[in-house]
Amino acid sequence: MIPLIDFHIHSTFSDGLYDIMDIAAYALKKEFKVIGISDHFNTRKVRSIEPDKIKNYIEEIESLDLPIKIYKGIEIDFSPRTDLSLLRKTIFESIDYILFEYVNDSSMMGYPLWRLLEIYEDIGKPIGLAHNNIQKNFNSINREDFLDLLETHNIFLEINTNINYSILGEYYYSISEEVFKSIKGRSIPVSIGSDMHNNLEEMLNVKKGIKFVESLGIEENVKLFMEILQH
């Protein structure tokens, strides 16, 4: 069984409507076991956290005194809209994990995966591919080679239950079902997130993602993600 979890949530620190306290209180009320706040880092796309505000962000999350575990994530728009020279270890020291959006997604001007591999050691934190239409964005790479790359570099995949990441009602994760099936038994962590911005109830959509995980029998991959966060 996978507990109720949500590792992709936006607050007023970037383009979300609710502050971190409201989000945490809601999560507690709905009996989430653990959540992660993942506001946008420096991007021209939306309101986002500039490097000098990271400290406030961390402090705000850490100051919450509620009986729920809250991780400190951040989301990076991996495209020319972000100043990549800012992506240094020192900036993300207190961050628990980093979501990279639009990796290998040419329709969103996303940078290729190899560029992420170039910088990932510098960052020194768990990193993952957020709401990626893997089936489409990585169709030119051999499936096994792709999975080997993820495994070797400990890059996690996200199951994102936001309707923005669907085509004709089918979610990207569902479109990429074959990929998720083939990670069973491999050390590739899997995260689940609602990408909530304006409606707290959307956090409950993660239940669809949890169902998906259970239907494929990849619960161990989700547990692996929760384990790497503890290091």
Among candidate residues 125, 52, 126, 48, the one with its CA nearest the CA of residue 93: 125
Per CB under 5 A, 105 contacts Zn ion: no
Q: Looking only at residues 43 through 102 of this chain, which bind Zn ion when binding is defined by CB under 5 A? A: 75
**Binding residue for Zn ion (CB under 5 A) from 35, 157, 195, 229?**
195
Which residue, 154 or 162, is less far from Zn ion as judged by CB? 162
Residues contacting Zn ion: total by CB under 5 A: 2
Which residue, 9 or 213, is less far from Zn ion as judged by CB? 9
Query: How near is the Cβ of 27 to Zn ion at its closest, in Å?
Result: 16
Which residue, 6 or 195, is less far from Zn ion as judged by CB? 195
Query: How near is the Cβ of 8 to Zn ion at its closest, in Å?
Result: 6
Query: How near is the Cβ of 13 to Zn ion at its closest, in Å?
Result: 12
Query: How near is the Cβ of 220 to Zn ion at its closest, in Å?
Result: 25
| Contacting residues toward Zn ion, per CB under 5 A | 75, 195
